[in-house]
Chains A and B, each alone.
Chain A
Amino acid sequence: MDFLRPASWEEALAAKAAHPTAVPIAGGTDVMVEINFDHRRPDHLLDLGRVAELGEWEVGEESVRLGASVPYSRIMEHLRAELPGLALASHTVASPQIRNRGGVGGNLGTASPAGDAHPALLAAGAEVEAVSVRGTRLIPIDDFYTGVKRNALAPDELIRAVHVQKADGPQQYSKVGTRNAMVIAVCAFGLALHPETRTVRTGIGSAAPTPIRARIAEEFLNSALEEGGFWDNGKIVTPSVAKQFADLCAAACNPIDDVRGTASYRRHAVGVMARRTLTWTWESYRGARHTTEGAA
């Protein structure tokens, strides 16, 4: 196994072009586990540790450009206002030590359905900045996950950053594990309200072969909120709407039975999380609306 240590982003892209099977490594929290247990023996490891800009982020007018290696602990600390869903998801990642090393780029590169960041990225509507010596493209998160542990990256591409819209409304994230910390997801759910577009987006983790959105549930809720004038009147979402949304989220799942939980439980739990996160975000939206009105 050769260990490539590019000193710059350009060198990294050149190395990836020269060695398309090279496995990029940054925090190493995923890759090293696989190597240590001999589950994976790539010809080349491409160490991105010297590419400083991967650990940086820029907060723009509309969105945040989040470097692929920005550790979860930084997201929790510095981007709570801009990326609340992702910050909540970051809190649930493994242990403090892992959160200090791991970043979103690793989750995306591995593309495991259990990656904690995915539901938040799906709900927020992120774009993945994929770069190669051929150029740069932005892959919508909806198109990024292509199969079990597979993604839309070309062999010569590296993840430079993710672009995430700054939250224009409340976001929530819930994850079920069988202990209260440092646990891989049995299933997870992300929800973001987008008052500017009057839409709701969701993300579901560990309940299908890939991270998914519950599109039918979103469409149902979007029309229910629109028809009832909820965005304007700020009324409480009726329990029957919340329940149907939850049921549709559960129906969107395509889970399996495994040592971490049953398929039946996963479906059930996604439904519960969908209902609760809808309640929390909507309450928060109503509260914010109320405050704004009061201030006006």
Chain B
Amino acid sequence: MESVRPPKSPGFQGTSPVLARGGAPNGVPTKVTQGSQTKGGIGESTLRPDGTLKVTGEFAYSSDLWHEDMLWGQILRSPVAHAEIVSIDTSEALALPGVYAVMTYDDLPTDVKHYGLEIQDTPVLAHGKVRHHGEPVAIVAADHPETARRAAAKIKVDYRELPVVTDEKSATAPDAILVHENRDDHHIGHVSHPNIVHRQPIVRGDADAAAARADVIVKGEYYFGMQDQAFLGPESGLAVPEEDGGVHLYIATQWLHSDLRQIAPVLGLPEKKVRMTLAGVGGAFGGREDLSMQIHACLLALRTGKPVKIVYNRFESFFGHVHRHPARLYYEHGATRDGKLTHVRCRIVLDGGAYASASPAVVGNASSLGIGPYVVDDVEIEAIALYTNNPPCGAMRGFGAVQACFAYEAQMDKVAGELGLDPVEFRRRNAMEQGTIMPTGQPVDSPAPVAELLRRVKAMPLPPERQWESSEGADVRQLPGGLSNTTHGEGVVRGVGYAVGIKNVGFSEGFDDYSTAKVRMEVVAGQPVATVHTAMAEVGQGGVTVHAQIARTELGVTQVTIHPADTQVGSAGSTSASRQTYVTGGAVKNACELVREKVLALGRRQFGSYHPAWATAELLLEGGKVVTDGGEVLADLVDVLGDEAVEIEAEWRHRATEPFDLRTGQGNGHVQYSFAAHRAVVEVDTELGLVKVVELACAQDVGKALNPLSVVGQIQGGTTQGLGIAVMEEIIVDPVTAKVRNPSFTDYLIPTILDTPTIPVDVLELADDHAPYGLRGIGEAPTLSSTPAVLAAIRNATGLELNRTPVRPEHLTGNA
């Protein structure tokens, strides 16, 4: 029989695109073999276990949870952005039949009344003050959701409105009203105003001297609108009180253990009495990193002694999670005539809204990745996040890096224009590569194929011109406006634009970003079976698929069970920062290797005397057997294991990072970088300002595609989310009242299938030697360059400057 060694570290090197275009729709490959013969192992496009259920509507999401005798929780939220709470009267609500409990700040059981990812500044329920529109003020439990809703409406809250701060000018004025008084967090010492959450400067080289060498200097000011994650499954969960006085929370989240750390102290329970099980998650994109209804449901369950379910509707969901930071970005680029960047200066002002959430990390990313994937020795960067009375902003796919990429790529086009250079050629001349030093001083020590990615998207054939023309007249589906029938070709101009971006993978700046996996191997019904148990939140990224693939490859078995994610195993860290395949995948691989060692030791003990190879050869698990690296079968795993179960739980860490210096921004702050490039082709109806994105081609380096189909899916999804913020997605906040004006899918638009272009994907696999299998985190990079590529294409079509995103029709017609 044949045997193949399970790949160790990087299994593949080279530049060949393993996922060629053509064949399956949109270049999706159905199978790519990567050397392992274990069926369903890494490198194969095994199918998602939940895929069919989700498509057919049978998958149980957290909003489908049900329990006998359960109550429904409802949250009363602030109708104003900033106000003192003079009084709260709950008596009428409590008097409503069917109401079991009404709770306010005064009913919180312990001294811990705030939570937060990094800074515990968010009240569980408002205390004397609300700081943003939609802030939770009181909670209700009732025997019917409608009763709970009506009861909440009967709570009388007397608000005395306060002035609002909504932007850098109003927030940092000397006499500005403070969003948080008496700050004592660890950032307050290095910010110039209490309404600044965090500030990160990065200084390298001598920008003044470099600017003196520049032949052209280009300045620009940009605005990036507030994007919503718009996950389709709204916030929901079920808290069930337990006999030991604890509570079991079934919840859709991105990080069970982070939730647990924040929930338990507020409830006054030890962490072991708060059991958490992941419920079906309907998307996340960063919006489930912060708590939403978790503590509220637990409080009501413990108060009433009954299970309590809370489900937001779409309206409430817009208030129930943090959004992407809107940003104002100021850039100066210099270059020499021969097309080399001399220096970059930039200042990035992120609006964090009323609570800190992930703002400090967003500042870290925006600053450290602020000039993009280019070689620039002389830089001055500053990023800050503000406290304002706008909606709180935090994690969303690509955070910090997304906003910066939109601006620096616009600048790159402007400089290229000034120099009379092709925008791709100008980027190529400045593209970073392996060995480039980041503005933080950190060397890029794995492949950085920036120029190659651009070359690849540029080399793809362009979609045919005037595709709407047919013998029966114009096919409006191919035109801006689509079936709304606004043009039959009149005023339509094509544009093409390019962009490339750089994103960090994993948690940075010295964070202990570990994951844990428990792997068990035993014989079930005469077959060797592996069970993988982690606390990883499957939010759609495909971890449940990939973990099984890793176990098959490492343990040589085909049957792998993925245990439901819960807190009965150690933390897996967050499903964010493109990190789960890397970190929890790494933890699963590590635990599998430890299990394999134990299994082999078990085999040696039982059968070592029968064959000398047990002692001398390198042994592998393959096809349910122990084999030598030469392929000789030594034993069946069924015989080796017998009645024993081999189980190991182990933590795994990627290499450590360090914080950025607070003054200079220097430090090896990031684990890994991820790169993608896009070419956008758009048709713009220049008279009506309507845009149809015809094609968004992407090339991305993924290091190693563990599941090529999922990789392409992530790239296409990220690309589409980037398209959304380019042409339609924006939470509109009234600048005077700081209230959200469009909290619905009627007026917050996300791309439909008819807005989604063809997305050809070209995947490179250049191994990162530091990462498991050489893989690279992939989920976020495509979201970065998609937006600026679309903007560049629209600028190319219209000749307009367009310094804000999303672009709305009135910006293109001069009717803003």
Chain A interface (Cβ < 8 Å from any Cβ of B): 36-38, 88, 91-92, 172-184, 186, 259-262, 264-265, 267-269, 272-273, 276, 279-280
Report whether B688 and A180 are in contact in the complex, using a CB–CB cutoff of 8 Å. no
A172 vs B486: C-alpha distance in the bound complex, in angstroms? Answer: 10
A267 vs B809: C-alpha distance in the bound complex, in angstroms? Answer: 13
Report whether A181 and B813 are in contact in the complex, using a CB–CB cutoff of 8 Å. no
Considering the complex, give the chain A residue whose CB is closest to the CB of B484: A175
Report whether B809 and A181 are in contact in the complex, using a CB–CB cutoff of 8 Å. no
Given A180-B752, A180-B755, A276:B487 Cβ within 8 A:
yes
Sample of 11 further A-B pairs with CB below 8 A, known A179-B754, A259-B741: A36-B313, A38-B149, A174-B481, A175-B486, A178-B690, A178-B809, A179-B755, A180-B483, A181-B482, A259-B732, A262-B816
A264 vs B488: C-alpha distance in the bound complex, in angstroms? Answer: 24
Question: Does B728 reach chain A (CB closer than 8 Å)?
Answer: yes
Report whether A181 and B483 are in contact in the complex, using a CB–CB cutoff of 8 Å. yes
Report whether B810 and A180 are in contact in the complex, using a CB–CB cutoff of 8 Å. no
Report whether B485 and A173 are in contact in the complex, using a CB–CB cutoff of 8 Å. yes
Quick one: which of B728-748 are within 8 Å of A by CB?
Answer: 728, 732, 741-742, 746-747
Given A174-B484, A178-B749, A181-B482, A262:B815 Cβ within 8 A:
yes
Report whether B747 and A259 are in contact in the complex, using a CB–CB cutoff of 8 Å. yes
Chain B: interface residue count, which band?
Answer: 35 or more
A184 vs B747: C-alpha distance in the bound complex, in angstroms? Answer: 8
Quick one: which of B49-102 are within 8 Å of A by CB?
Answer: none
Report whether A181 and B689 are in contact in the complex, using a CB–CB cutoff of 8 Å. no
Question: Does B161 reach chain A (CB closer than 8 Å)?
Answer: no
A173 vs B491: C-alpha distance in the bound complex, in angstroms? Answer: 18
Question: Does B687 reach chain A (CB closer than 8 Å)?
Answer: yes
The SS class assigned to the B binding surface is: loop
Report whether A269 and B688 are in contact in the complex, using a CB–CB cutoff of 8 Å. yes
Quick one: which of B662-685 are within 8 Å of A by CB?
Answer: none
Q: Contact partner of B484 among A183, A264, A265, A279, CB < 8 A? A: A183
Q: Contact partner of A272 among B482, B688, B741, B755, CB < 8 A? A: B688
What's the minimum C-beta distance from B615 to chain A, rounded to whole angstroms?
67
Q: Which 8 A-B pairs have the closest CB atoms?
A: A180-B482, A265-B815, A265-B810, A181-B754, A264-B815, A175-B484, A259-B742, A181-B752
Report whether B732 and A176 are in contact in the complex, using a CB–CB cutoff of 8 Å. no
What's the minimum C-beta distance from A169 to chain B, rounded to whole angstroms?
18
Give the residues in chain B near A269, CB-CB below 8 Å: 688, 809, 813
Chain B interface (Cβ < 8 Å from any Cβ of A): 149, 313, 315, 480-488, 490-491, 687-690, 692, 727-728, 732, 741-742, 746-747, 749, 751-755, 808-810, 813, 815-816
Give the residues in chain A near B689, CB-CB below 8 Å: 265
Report whether A262 and B810 are in contact in the complex, using a CB–CB cutoff of 8 Å. yes
A260 vs B690: C-alpha distance in the bound complex, in angstroms? Answer: 13
Give the residues in chain B near A173, CB-CB below 8 Å: 485
A88 vs B480: C-alpha distance in the bound complex, in angstroms? Answer: 16
Give the residues in chain B near A268, CB-CB below 8 Å: 813, 815
Give the residues in chain A near B815, CB-CB below 8 Å: 262, 264-265, 267-268
What's the minimum C-beta distance from B682 to chain A, rounded to whole angstroms?
12
A46 vs B361: C-alpha distance in the bound complex, in angstroms? Answer: 54
What's the minimum C-beta distance from B313 to chain A, rounded to whole angstroms?
8
Q: Can you list 19 A-B contacts (CB < 8 A)?
A: A36-B313, A37-B315, A91-B485, A174-B484, A175-B484, A176-B481, A178-B690, A178-B727, A179-B727, A181-B482, A181-B755, A182-B754, A184-B746, A184-B747, A259-B742, A268-B815, A272-B687, A276-B488, A280-B488
What's the minimum C-beta distance from A252 to chain B, rounded to whole angstroms?
17
A88 vs B742: C-alpha distance in the bound complex, in angstroms? Answer: 28
Give the residues in chain A near B732, CB-CB below 8 Å: 259
Report whether B484 and A261 are in contact in the complex, using a CB–CB cutoff of 8 Å. no
Give the residues in chain B near A261, CB-CB below 8 Å: 808-810
Considering the complex, give the chain B residue whose CB is closest to the CB of A189: B486
Give the residues in chain A near B688, CB-CB below 8 Å: 176, 269, 272-273
Q: Contact partner of A178 among B728, B741, B813, CB < 8 A? A: B728
Considering the complex, give the chain A residue whose CB is closest to the CB of B690: A176
Report whether A265 and B813 are in contact in the complex, using a CB–CB cutoff of 8 Å. yes
Report whether B747 and A175 are in contact in the complex, using a CB–CB cutoff of 8 Å. no
Considering the complex, give the chain B residue whose CB is closest to the CB of A276: B490
Give the residues in chain B near A176, CB-CB below 8 Å: 481, 484, 486, 688, 690, 809
A4 vs B292: C-alpha distance in the bound complex, in angstroms? Answer: 39
A160 vs B209: C-alpha distance in the bound complex, in angstroms? Answer: 79
Give the residues in chain A near B751, CB-CB below 8 Å: 179
What's the minimum C-beta distance from A187 to chain B, rounded to whole angstroms?
10
Report whether B809 and A92 are in contact in the complex, using a CB–CB cutoff of 8 Å. no
A172 vs B485: C-alpha distance in the bound complex, in angstroms? Answer: 9
Q: Contact partner of A180 among B490, B742, B754, B816, CB < 8 A? A: B754
Report whether A179 and B149 are in contact in the complex, using a CB–CB cutoff of 8 Å. no
Give the residues in chain A near B490, CB-CB below 8 Å: 276, 279
A88 vs B486: C-alpha distance in the bound complex, in angstroms? Answer: 11
A264 vs B749: C-alpha distance in the bound complex, in angstroms? Answer: 21
Q: Contact partner of A88 among B149, B485, B808, CB < 8 A? A: B485
Give the residues in chain A near B491, CB-CB below 8 Å: 272
What's the minimum C-beta distance from A149 to chain B, rounded to whole angstroms?
15
Considering the complex, give the chain B residue whose CB is closest to the CB of A273: B486
What's the minimum C-beta distance from A71 to chain B, rounded to whole angstroms?
16
